[in-house]
Amino acid sequence: MFHVEKVFESSPENHFKRPAHSRPMICGRLVGLRPLETEDVFVMFKWFNDERVLEDLGAENMFFATSLEEEKLVVDSMIGDGRSQFLVIHRLQDHEAVGIIGLANLDERNASAELRIVIGEVGAWDQGLGTDAIQVLLDHAFNVRNLHRVWLRVMEYNQRALRCYEKCGFQIEGRSRQDLYHRGAWRDAYRMSILEDDYRGRERC
């Protein structure tokens, strides 16, 4: 069961409008989501220069930067991208920022978007935080943004992510063969999606 810490109008913009002093607004059982801010550059730089985090991101790692200045450009571009909506994941237990999640490549005409998520704090892995964050974002995607389809891309060797996505209702719909060279071998990538009907017809994970 999700809750919002303050009452807002139901438009996507108002749904995520956060006073500077407030905590994450959109909350699940374990995590809260709030809009990405310029000040998040420091934690983003930490996360995406950790080899353990980079290991599972595949070829298209849009977050990596070699300096704080570069990372700030990345963060500013994410904030200013009108076709994306990125949110920082906070663990409700201690309000620590543990990752980032978002809807990218928003296609209003066809009511679809790409889901992207990274749990950047390695110590927060395998605690159900990513699963809870996805459920909160899907609730927003289908009930606030009125999307019809949410899709994602995941590497075949990222078994942790595959289990999480399947638990949240995503289904494999295609494979890109030998899409990435990883640890001495060519690896495939899966494309997965969840439709609004899928989302409404299943129990919460």
Q: What is the pLDDT of residues 68-81, one digit of tens each?
A: 888 898 899 999 99
Looking at residue 203, its pLDDT comes to 66
In a domain, 23, yes or no: yes
Q: Is residue 176 part of a domain?
A: no
With respect to residue 153, please indicate whether it lies within any of the assigned structural domains.
no
The number of CA neighbours under 13 Å toward the Cβ of 154 is: 23
Q: Is residue 116 part of a domain?
A: yes
**Count of structural domains within the chain:** 1
Does any domain span residue 111? Answer: yes
Residue 22 or residue 154, greater confidence: 154
Q: Which domain holds residue 131?
A: 3-147
CA distance 35 to 53: 21
CA 111 from chain centre, in angstroms, equals 18
For the full predicted model, state whether its pTM sits above 0.75: yes
CATH of the domain at 115: 3.40.630.30
Report DSSP letters for 103-118, one per residue.
EEEEETTTTEEEEEEE
Instruction: Indicate if the pLDDT at residue 148 is higher than 90.
Output: yes
65 confidence band (pLDDT: 50, 70, 90): low
Say if 121 falls within a structural domain.
yes
pLDDT digits (tens, 9 = 90+) for 151-198: 999 999 999 999 999 999 999 999 999 988 888 899 999 999 999 999
**pLDDT band, residue 55 (cuts 50/70/90):** confident
pLDDT (0 to 100) of residue 70: 86
Confidence check: pLDDT of 202 > 70 = yes
